[in-house]
Amino acid sequence: MLAGIRTRDLRKIYTSPPPLASGGGFGFGSGRGKGKKQPKPQIVALDGISLDILPGEIFGLLGPNGAGKSTTLGILTTRVRPTGGQAWIGELDVWREQVAVKRLIGVVAQRPNLDFALTAREILLFHGAYFGVDSHQRAERADVLLDRFKLRDRGDQMVRGFSGGMMQRLSIARAMMHDPQVLFLDEPSAGLDPQTRLLLWEIIREYNHSGKTILLTTHNMEEADALCQRLAIIDHGRNIALGTPGELKASVPGGYLLRLRFGSHSPELLQRLQTLTGAREVRANPDSKNDNSIDVYADRGGPLVSEIANLASSANVELCDVHISEPSLENLFLHHTGRSLRD
Amino acid sequence: MNWKTFLALLARDAHVARRNFAPLVLQTFLQPMMFVFIFGRVMVSSGYMPAAYKSLLLPGIMAISMVFTGVWAVAMPLIAEFQFTREIEDRLLAPMEISWLAIEKVFFGTLQALVAGLVVIPAAWLLLRPGVELNLRSPLSFACVTLLVALFSACGGLALGCSISQTHIGLMFSMVLTPMIFFGCTYYPWSALAHFPILQKVVLVNPLVYASEGLRGTLVPQFPHLPVPAVLVALTLFDAAFLAAGLRQFRRKAVS
Ligand SMILES: Nc1ncnc2c1ncn2[C@@H]1O[C@H](COP(=O)(O)OP(=O)(O)OP(=O)(O)O)[C@@H](O)[C@H]1O
Ligand SMILES: [Mg+2]
C-alpha cells in the first residue's frame, strides 16, 4: 500500500515556553501558576502549512532554525497536537486515527531519543517487537541494519557510550526496523561525517526505490538538492516556496547572486546598479546593520564585477567586498526571506 | 487494543529490571530490613519496646516497602524518560493508544510492588522470630488489600512521575514520600494518634494510612485497626483518583 502525506492549513501555537528554556520546569501539577494572572507566552510555530506529498516521493522541508520544520513533523507523527488544520497519512487522519497512522510511519526525531537502558541490538529488537515483527525476522533485520549502518561491532554495547553520530545512525536504523511505508527524518545528516552522510543518502534513495515515501528536513542546500525530488521552503511557519530543486532555483531572478559591500552608503549607486545589463533585481541587504551592503540578482556572475567596480569608482564609493554565488537554493532562500541559510 | 505491543513493552521493562536486579533488591529491602532489625530486634530484646511491637511493625514495614517500590518503579523511569532526551518517544510511537503505555507501566509497577510486599513478610518474619503472631483470618481480604496497595503505589508513581521534573526528585522524597511514611501509621496504629485528635483527622488524607491499617487489619487483626471494608473503599478511591490524575498528566507530557 502506497501512502502519501497531506496537510491542510496546519497551525500550531505553543502556549508554554519550550521545557528546555524554562529552566527547571514546573512544580507539582499545575497548581503553581494559578496565583499569578500572567498570560502564558504564545509562540506561533506553524501559521497555515499546506503540503501535498505524493506516495513514493522524497520530499524535503527546508528552512532556518525555528521555521517550524520539527513541529510539522511532530504533528504528522502524532507527537504534537495541531492547534488548527488537518493532516493525513494516506487516507488516515493523523490526529483521529493515531494507532493506524503509527503503524505506517517510521520516525527519526531531531534529537536522538534512544532507549538508554538497552544495547544497540536490543533497541532494534524491541522496536521490532512493538510493531509485531516476528522474532526470527526481527533478528535478521537487526543484523542487516547494524551492518548497513556500520554498527555491527557496537551492536552489543549500551548506547549510553555511543558518539553522537552513532546514535544518529542507530535512530535511523531503528526507524527502518518495521519497514514503514512513510519515513520521517528530522535533520538526518546532522552530526554525520561527510562519508557517513553519503552512505545515508544512498540508504535513503534505496529505501525510496522500494516505493516508500520519505519526508526529511534539512538546512543543507546540497543535501536537499541531491536527495529530494521536491522541496518546500518554510519560514516563520509558512510555506514560502514549493517545487523541484530545479524549478526553485530557476525562480530566482537571474539565478546568480552578487553580494556587494561598499565603503559608504550611496542611494545613487543603488540606482545605477539597476541599469547594469543582466542585473534583474537590486536591493539593500537586509541582514547587515548599515546600508552599505547590496545584493544584486543577475543572470551572470563574474563578468559583472568589473562593471560594478567601474560604477563604484565613478560614484566615488569604495568597493570593499564581492561575493558571487552561482544559482543555488541558498540564493533562493535569500531571495525569499532576505536571510541566509547556513549549516 | 494491541496485545502484542503491550506484551513487548512489558518484556522490555522486565528485561531492564532483570538487568538492574541487584541494585533493585538492595534499594527495596535494605532500609526496611534495617528498620525491622533495629526496632523489632534490638529495641525489643533490650526491653525498650514491648514484644508485641514485632507483630505490629510487620504490616507497616510491608506497606512502606510496597509503596516505595511501586512509586520508584514507575516514577523514576518516567521522570528520566520524559527528560529532554525523550527516551520514551520510541514507545509512544508504538502502534497502540498512548495511555496503554502508562497502563503498562502501572501494571509492571504493581507487579513489582506485590513481589516486594510478599517477600518482606517472610524476610521480616525471619529477622523478628520468634514472637511474631500473624493471624491471617481472611486470605481474600488480605489479597484484596495487598492488591489495592500495590496498585495505589504504582498509580501514585505514575501521577508523581508525570508531574515533576528531574530537578525535583529530591523534593519528591523529602516533601511527599517521607511525610507520607511518618504520618502513614506505618510504625504505629492509627488509634495511637488518639491523643492528637486534629492530627488523627488530618492524616486520613494520607493514602498510606489505609495501606498500613488495611494490612494490619488483615495480617494482625489482634491490634486495633480501621475497619477493613472502609479501608477497601478508601484504597479503591485513591487508586482510581491517582490513576485518572496520572493518565491525564501522562497524556499531557506525551503530546506537546
Ligand atoms: N515544545 C515546545 N514548546 C514551546 N515552543 C516550542 C516547542 N517546540 C518548538 N517550539 C517553538 O516553535 C517554533 C518552531 O520550532 P521547530 O522546532 O518546529 O523549528 P525547526 O524548524 O525544527 O528549527 P530547527 O532548524 O532549529 O530544528 C520555535 O519558535 C520554537 O521555539
Ligand atoms: Mg527542528
Dump the DSSP string for B25-76: HHHHHHHHHHHIIIIIIIHHHTTSS-TTHHHHHHHHHHHHHHHHHHHHHHHH
Is A78 in contact with B91 (Cβ distance < 8 A)? no
A123/A141 Cα distance (integer angstroms):
12
Tell me which residue of A190, A184, A237 sits closest to A213, measured CA to CA. A184
Query: Strand A230-235 to strand A238-243: parallel, antiparallel, or no bridges (unpaired)?
Result: antiparallel
A180/B196 Cα distance (integer angstroms):
64
> CB neighbours of B63 closer than 8 A, spacing ≥ 6?
B117, B149, B184, B186, B208, B211, B212, B215
- The ligand placed nearest to the CA atom of residue A80 is 1
Atom of ligand 1 nearest to the CA of A219: 25
* pLDDT single digits (tens) B156-174: 999 999 988 888 888 888 8
Query: Strand A182-186 to strand A84-89: parallel, antiparallel, or no bridges (unpaired)?
Result: unpaired
Looking at the complex, does the CB of residue B249 fall below 8 Å from at least one CB of chain A?
A: yes
Chain B hits for A94, Cβ within 8 Å: none
Q: Is the CB of A237 under 6 A from ligand 1?
A: no
Residues of chain A predicted below pLDDT 70: 1, 16-39, 286-291, 339-343
Q: Which residues surround ligand 2, an ion (CB under 5 A)?
A: A 69-70, 110
pLDDT at A27: 43
Task: Look up cell 485497626; give the residue.
Answer: B225
In the structure grid, which three cell numbers stand for residue B229, read together?
A: 471494608
**Which residue has its alpha carbon closest to ligand 1 atom 27?**
A65
* pLDDT single digits (tens) B18-42: 988 888 888 778 878 888 888 888 8
Percent of residues in chain A assigned helix, strand, coil, to nearest 5 = 35, 25, 40
Partner-chain residue, chosen from B9, B12, B95, that has the shortest CB–CB distance to A99: B95
Shortest distance, CA B90 to any CA of chain A (angstroms):
7
3-state secondary structure of A237: coil
Shortest distance, CA A241 to any CA of chain B (angstroms):
27
Torsion angle of alpha carbons B72, B77, B78, B82, nearest 10°? 150
Partner-chain residue, chosen from B9, B89, B168, that has the shortest CB–CB distance to A113: B89
Is B89 in contact with A109 (Cβ distance < 8 A)? yes
pLDDT at A10: 92
Closest residue on chain A to B256 (Cα): A80
Give residue B118's Cα distance to chain centre: 12
Looking at the complex, does the CB of residue B24 fall below 8 Å from at least one CB of chain A?
A: no
Partner-chain residue, chosen from B15, B86, B90, that has the shortest CB–CB distance to A127: B90
pLDDT at A258: 84
Question: Among residues of chain B, what percentage have pLDDT more than 70?
Answer: 100
Chain A hits for B88, Cβ within 8 Å: 113
pLDDT at A37: 53
DSSP track, A75-106 = HHTTSS--SEEEEEETTEETTTSHHHHHHHEE
Give the DSSP H/E element, type plus range, for residue A16.
Answer: none
Tell me which residue of A123, A130, A113 sits closest to A158, measured CA to CA. A123
- Please indicate whether residue B148 or residue A112 has the higher confidence score (pLDDT): B148
Is A105 in contact with B85 (Cβ distance < 8 A)? no
- CA torsion sign for A274, A276, A277, A279 is negative
Beta bridge partners of A106: A183
Is B168 in contact with A27 (Cβ distance < 8 A)? yes
Shortest distance, CA A192 to any CA of chain B (angstroms):
19
Chain B hits for A79, Cβ within 8 Å: 89, 92-93, 254-256
B249/B195 Cα distance (integer angstroms):
39
> CB neighbours of B14 closer than 8 A, spacing ≥ 6?
B108
* Average pLDDT for B210-231: 90
Is A19 in contact with B84 (Cβ distance < 8 A)? yes
Is A26 in contact with B84 (Cβ distance < 8 A)? no
> CB neighbours of A26 closer than 8 A, spacing ≥ 6?
A32, A33, B165
For residue A179, give the amino acid letter. Answer: D
Q: Please, are residues A270 and A282 in contact by the beta-carbon 8 Å criterion?
A: yes
* Average pLDDT for B132-143: 87
A-to-B residue pairs, Cβ atoms closer than 8 angstroms: 101
pLDDT at B104: 95
* pLDDT single digits (tens) B56-104: 888 998 999 899 889 988 998 999 898 878 899 999 999 999 999 999 9
A159/A333 Cα distance (integer angstroms):
37
Tell me which residue of B158, B160, B51 sits closest to B105, measured CA to CA. B158
Give residue B27's Cα distance to chain centre: 13
- Residue A185 alpha carbon to ligand 2 centre in Å: 10
Shortest distance, CA A343 to any CA of chain B (angstroms):
23
pLDDT at A33: 45
Q: How many C-beta atoms surround the C-beta of residue A55 within 10 A?
A: 15
Is B163 in contact with A81 (Cβ distance < 8 A)? no
**Which residue has its alpha carbon closest to ligand 1 atom 24?**
A65
* pLDDT single digits (tens) B175-193: 888 888 889 888 888 988 8
In the structure grid, which three cell numbers stand for residue A161, read together?
A: 557510550
A285/A272 Cα distance (integer angstroms):
16
In the structure grid, which three cell numbers stand for residue A320, read together?
A: 570593499
- Residue A75 alpha carbon to ligand 1 centre in Å: 12
Is B86 in contact with A14 (Cβ distance < 8 A)? no
A214/A206 Cα distance (integer angstroms):
11
